[in-house]
Structure 1
């Protein structure tokens, strides 16, 4: 087997799939005026209400240099509030505003719209997620 052929690479189909999936999200997320990374941040905050920048980064596997512009943009849209911790000013806490909370209702249709755009069943999506999570969990340091 020629391991330097693109068709023999494990990473390329994952990379290509990531781009395709993100492209499927774009028209759906345009309706709620979010990019895919912003949507990820909002989902984490809808689940946890308030987190530090570090905690958001850990959950999304993103560093603060990547998160900071995302958070600034969401704050400029008045969806989140960023505040320094009163006990440790190195820590920035991020919480939802009323606008951010209200967006959750509007966004509740996104997962189903995404699934329909792909033409996949719930079982197929679950199987894909399980396989990907298995690899992610094996490669975490």
Structure 2
């Protein structure tokens, strides 16, 4: 599904209202989703960003910090404190790669792997909180991923049409 190129707003439409902003709809939905995840993650002792790190490592253990950051769209300055905290919790290890000492490999501990089972019901609980049917959630997710792709591509383009 391709996002259409937007038309100019109707002359009577006031684009400078809060409710007209796509960014605010995404931001406020993000805040609401964060509250849902906080409730579900409390029993695991994880924050949402820590949960995202664990999800990636449960998929593919033994990643470099760079690969983990790329997967999560996070830079190492943001990711490193998350990893240090998860390491202090005994959920993962950070070790220098033997082949290239500049790289840090992140691997799960036994406790980190075991936490996956305890997290098993979180996706279903969050889905229920959205009020979406599974098919509707998949469509929404795909649309958001497409939006992200467009926005990441937009940062490479000039900011103003006159600059193009």
TM-score normalised by the chain length of structure 1: 0.95
Q: Is the 8 A contact 1:79 1:97 kept in 2?
A: yes
Shift of 1:60: 0.4
Decide which of 17, 38, 52 is 1:26's aligned counterpart.
Answer: 38
What CA distance in whole angstroms lies between the structure 2 residues aligned with 1:117 and 1:12?
Answer: 20
Task: Tell me which residue corresponds to 1:112.
Answer: 124
Q: Is it true that 1:38 corresponds to 2:62 in the alignment?
A: no
Displacement over 3 Å in runs of 4+: none
Q: Residue 71 of structure 2 corresponds to which residue in structure 1?
A: 59
TM-score (norm 2): 0.82
CA deviation string 1:36-78 (max 9, x = no partner): 0000000000000110111011000001111011000000011
Greater Rg over alpha carbons, structure: 2
Q: CA deviation at 1:3?
A: 1.9
Deviations 1:64-123 (A, max 9, x none): 111011000000011000001122211110000000000011111110111122332212
Q: Which residue does 1:3 correspond to in 2?
A: 15
Determine helix, strand or coil for the equivalent of 1:34: coil
Q: SS of 2:44's equivalent? A: coil
Matches for 1:37-116 after TM superposition, within 5 Å: 37-116=49-128
- CA RMSD of superposed structures (Å): 1.0
Q: Identify the residue that residue 158 of structure 2 maps to in structure 1.
A: none
Paired residues in the alignment total 141
Which protein is richer in helix relative to its size?
1
Contact 1:54 1:64 in 2 (8 A): yes
Structure 1 distance, partners of 2:152, 2:24, is: 20
